């Protein structure tokens, strides 16, 4: 609103402006909201934890544009938060039907399948996401996790190595690499990887815990205590049996 320079006009102009502003609010309430406005309402509702309202807003977007892949994706994410797994998966599939090259939809579908224990389907979706976007760090990570759980440590390591090549400051990547080395009994390499994770993120509780376990196994009790204590301070529950055994060394 432009400033009014002549003071004698103020008394004349203000009443219409107040009336106009009131009319503008009424008009906004009466007119149909745009797709972007429904998205913003959905984001806000989800952030507040009002998931039913978020679902309603994404459904309104889809009434306006049934082929809005982003709305299908976000609606799937909300259904996932509500633990409505079938609806979640259905929305990701619809997003992919609309846009077969929607890497994030393939990734989220992979996460949903992985959460249900359908690792073969999850793996297929992560691989598809990576075909579309080779630098998808989270897809490499989750693909590595599948290989790790299947005991395919070399393949897991390959995927984890890719994550830190893409993002050298990815602390989780170094932690995952350390976990592989520990399984392979390469303890010095594991220690170096966990330390690198902590160099990037000193508050990485799981890395402190992993180092504590390794040092405990190596009978380096002072270092074990130090890292277990740090893990505990950061909110991680340390095995009470380990703490009991370490009591005499404190």
Name the pLDDT band for 30 (thresholds 50, 70, 90).
Answer: low
Residue 242 domain-assigned (yes or no): yes
Task: Report pLDDT for 5.
Answer: 38
Residue 244 domain-assigned (yes or no): yes
Residue-wise pLDDT tens digits, 192-213: 999 999 999 999 999 999 999 9
Structure tokens at 228: 């277990």
Residue 116 domain-assigned (yes or no): no
Contacts 24+ apart (CB under 8 A), 76-82: 76/105, 76/108, 76/112, 77/108, 78/42, 78/46, 78/51, 78/54, 79/55, 80/108, 80/112, 81/46, 81/51, 82/51, 82/55
CB 199 within 8 A of CB 179: no
CB 45 within 8 A of CB 53: yes
Residue 126 domain-assigned (yes or no): no
Question: DSSP of 74-133, one letter per residue?
Answer: HHHHHHHHTT-HHHHHHHHHHHHHH-TT-HHHHHHHHHHHHHTT-HHHHHHHHHHHHHH-
Query: Is the confidence at residue 12, as pLDDT, over 70?
Result: no
Name the pLDDT band for 29 (thresholds 50, 70, 90).
Answer: low
Residue 79 domain-assigned (yes or no): no
Average pLDDT for the chain: 90
Residue 14 domain-assigned (yes or no): no
Separation CA 99–CA 95 (nearest Å) = 6
Name the pLDDT band for 4 (thresholds 50, 70, 90).
Answer: very low
User: How much of the chain exceeds pLDDT 70, in percent?
Assistant: 88
Question: What's the mean pLDDT in 165-182?
Answer: 99
Query: Is the confidence at residue 77, as pLDDT, over 90?
Result: yes
Residue range(s) defining the domain that contains residue 231: 203-250
Question: What's the mean pLDDT in 69-73?
Answer: 98
Tally the C-alpha atoms within 13 A of residue 23's C-alpha that lie toward its C-beta: 6
Residue 131 domain-assigned (yes or no): no
Query: Is the confidence at residue 19, as pLDDT, over 70?
Result: no
Task: Report pLDDT for 21.
Answer: 38
Within a 10 A sphere around the Cβ of 248, how many other Cβ atoms?
7
Question: What's the mean pLDDT in 126-147?
Answer: 99
| Domains: count for the chain | 1
**Which of 9-18, 46-55, 106-115, 177-186 is least confident?**
9-18
User: How much of the chain exceeds pLDDT 90, in percent?
Assistant: 86
What is the reported pTM? 0.84
Task: Report pLDDT for 187.
Answer: 98
Residue 133 domain-assigned (yes or no): no
């Amino acid at each position: 609103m432009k400033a009014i320079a002549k003071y004698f006009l103020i008394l004349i102009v203000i009443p219409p402006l107040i009336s106009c502003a009131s009319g503008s609010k009424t008009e906004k309430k009466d007119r149909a909201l745009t797709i972007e406005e429904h998205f913003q309402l959905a984001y806000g509702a989800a952030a507040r934890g009002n998931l039913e309202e978020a679902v309603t807003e994404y459904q309104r977007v889809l009434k306006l544009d049934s082929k809005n892949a982003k709305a299908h994706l976000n609606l799937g994410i909300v259904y996932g938060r509500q633990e409505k797994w079938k609806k979640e998966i259905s929305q990701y599939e619809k997003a992919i039907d609309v846009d077969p090259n929607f890497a994030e939809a393939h990734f989220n579908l992979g996460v949903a399948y992985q959460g249900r224990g359908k690792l073969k389907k999850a793996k297929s979706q992560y691989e598809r996401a990576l075909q579309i976007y080779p630098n998808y760090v989270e897809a490499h990570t989750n693909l590595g996790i599948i290989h790790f759980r299947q005991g395919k440590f070399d393949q897991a390591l390959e995927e984890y190595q890719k994550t830190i090549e893409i993002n050298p400051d990815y602390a989780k990547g170094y932690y995952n690499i350390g976990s592989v080395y520990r399984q392979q009994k390469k303890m010095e390499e594991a220690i170096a990887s966990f330390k690198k994770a902590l160099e990037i993120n000193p508050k990485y509780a799981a890395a402190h815990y992993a180092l504590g376990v390794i040092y405990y196994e190596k009978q380096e009790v002072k270092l074990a205590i130090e890292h277990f204590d740090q893990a505990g301070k950061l909110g991680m529950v340390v095995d009470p049996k380990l703490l009991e055994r370490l009591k005499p060394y404190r």
